[in-house]
Amino acid sequence: MHFAGRTRLDLSFIILNPIFYIVDLFKSKTVSTQKNAQWLLWVQRIFDHFGLLCLAVVLQNCGAPTTSNPDGGGSANSSPPSSAVPSDGSCLFNSATLGNHQSVTAYTISLVGFGESCSTVEEALTCQNGSLVNANGTVTNNDSPTCRAAKTTTCSFLNFATSVSSTLTSGQSLTGYSAISVPESQTCASVQTTVGCQNGVLTVDGKREDSSGYALNPACNVGACGTTLDGSSTTKYTAGYLPFGQSCDSVKVTVTCQNQSFVTSNGIKLTSLTPVCTVAPTANCGLVNLVGGGFSGLTIQNGQTLSGYDQASVTAGDACANHQETIACSNGFISVNGGTPISESNIASHVSYSATCN
């Protein structure tokens, strides 16, 4: 119910006048206990009907008209909810802005198996008040703007934990651990992981991944120190692979296991340690091309830079300019687009590279 003008003032008089009268009665102590109880019961009924807030601020808000919010979520004169949603309801997808209620074609995964069609994982996403939703009304933030099919049924697999590269046939799998150690409160079974190949696509615990590498540790120990007993010392390395010409002695440290953590003689706790260290055997770099085709097994000379693309072709609506890349070699380490050098021991680096794109 809403009141305005004189009606609002009349309402304030009706509500507040008995309150003032009761206060005067209590001050004069001329009312019996029974009558006090009657008055208090009557006031309680007023509170129940109009609300305590109206009694406190009746002249300001009790009859204030409210209007519905066309976007939902309360009245228009209430404070807006804390949200990252743009005021115009737009969405961001693949670095492009979609207007509210605008749709775009996307893919649930970016890589499908050899001979499979991307149409099987295609879906339409619609921007709804700042969120991307699919046809089922489910909000999704992990769809890919592009999709491609694997070139072969086999999978190139680089084990980041051991720096060993292998080829998996479709249906083949390897079992290991996603962590080299777990806290004493856990078991190694909680981090057991299976990496497999499904028609040319690498899978991790059955989920397809658009990747050729994963850290699959061959063993797992309970406690950060692994097999090193508490109070014992051992030699570790702060880096597992070094550029050509360097020495592993520069990254070798002696640490002691204390309360399931490795610490130096100065009491500094170290977490990113490896039991082995290898130096790149040559300043040149080997490249295994994941795109498939022209440059499998290519050797890149030290200091050489290749310019090309991370895929050989693009889908409609995409452009080759979006996939340009440069691959550089420095003392046995490959870097892509100036990023962190890829440190892989005694094997060719796995990079998606194509000299041409169409």
User: What DSSP designation does 104 have?
Assistant: E
What's the confidence (pLDDT) of residue 83? Answer: 36
Ranking 69-78, 115-124, 335-344 by mean pLDDT, the lowest is: 69-78
* CB < 8 Å & 24+ apart, contacts of 34-43: 42/18, 43/18, 43/19
Lowest mean pLDDT among 47-61, 219-233, 270-284, 337-351: 47-61
29 or 241: whose pLDDT is higher? Answer: 241
- pLDDT beyond 50 at 267: yes
Q: Return d(Cα 175, Cα 197) in angstroms, integer.
A: 12
Q: Is residue 253 very low, low, confident or very high in pLDDT (cuts 50, 70, 90)?
A: very high
Q: Which H or E element spans position 123? A: strand 122-128
> Between these two residues, 60 and 139, which has the higher pLDDT value?
139
In this prediction, residue 309 carries a pLDDT of: 85
Question: What integer pLDDT is reported at residue 28 of this predicted model?
Answer: 46
Three-state DSSP state, 338:
coil
pTM greater than the 0.85 cutoff: no
Q: Which contiguous run of DSSP H or E holds residue 212?
A: none
Percentage of residues in the chain with pLDDT exceeding 90? 31
> Which structure tokens are listed for 327?
């691959």
Instruction: Answer yes or no: is pLDDT of 238 > 80.
Output: yes
Quick check: 164 and 170 in contact, CB under 8 A? no
The answer, yes or no, to whether residue 35 has pLDDT greater than 90, is no
Per residue in 143-161, pLDDT (tens digit) is: 999 999 999 999 999 888 8
pLDDT digits (tens, 9 = 90+) for 193-205: 999 999 999 999 9
**Block residue for tokens 């190139």:** 156
**SS3 for 125?**
strand
> In this predicted model, which residue has the larger pLDDT, 148 or 223?
148
Q: What is the mean pLDDT of the chain?
A: 76
Could you identify the residue written with the tokens 């009924």?
45
| pLDDT given for residue 264 in this prediction | 92
pLDDT single digits (tens) 333-356: 888 888 777 765 444 566 777 778
Q: 38-52, 57-71, 108-122, 210-224: which has the minimum mean pLDDT?
A: 57-71
Say how far apart CA 291 and CA 156 lie, in whole Å.
11
Residue showing tokens 């687009």: 337
pLDDT computed for residue 300 by the predictor: 86
The first and second tokens of residue 272, run together, are: 């990113």
Banded pLDDT at 63 (limits 50, 70, 90): very low
Query: What six digits make up the tokens of 76?
Result: 């228009």
